[in-house]
Structure 1
């Protein structure tokens, strides 16, 4: 199994696991490899350090920026997964459903959905707490 460091045109770095380098190239050419953050299929390999397990070796205390970015992306994906698991998707009925809950016309629950900026502002002006959560299109389906 080959673990390759990959990057999309937007600079998102991520790992891909493939049977071989040829397997990666085959999947990439068929647009089967996509960035987990933005969904771009124009991904490329980036240089990576070999992973060596040496007895007595310790991890360096400073984490390179690329590793920090990958760690941040992982935390963001875990947080989004938790939001998706603990909320009901009401789609484009978000503003309507938030109002119904606020005015006790519907049971109170955790919801998520889509609202225009004007609808979100109107909800806030009515005293209804909302929180915008931009979700990349690639993550709106199944979070892997």
Structure 2
């Protein structure tokens, strides 16, 4: 798995995970990438800073009301709501349905549901493209 910083033509910045480096190019050429803020399909890789770990005695202080956090939370909720309103909920059959769609044994459509960590690992190993649905903040209360 690889994480890319992305930006859309409206200069919204966000991140996404991909199976490998080629997966971004394939998804971008198919037009399936979309900015979670504005919905633009004109998405490109953004410049990325190297990941530098913090020192063990260093603390990160961001308040819950920080504007960037609110924007990110709003964007995640918008994406979650879009998927849930436009895709089919398949429950614990997610891995099975994703495999059928990947193998073209079932119609191509958006689905969401639940999968165990073992099922997720198998889907990745089999080359089935999928993304986790962002968790809503209220899911953790």
Q: TM-score range by the shorter chain?
A: 0.3 to 0.5
Give the number of the structure whose alpha-carbon radius of gyration is greater. 1
TM-score of the superposed pair, with normalisation by structure 2: 0.46
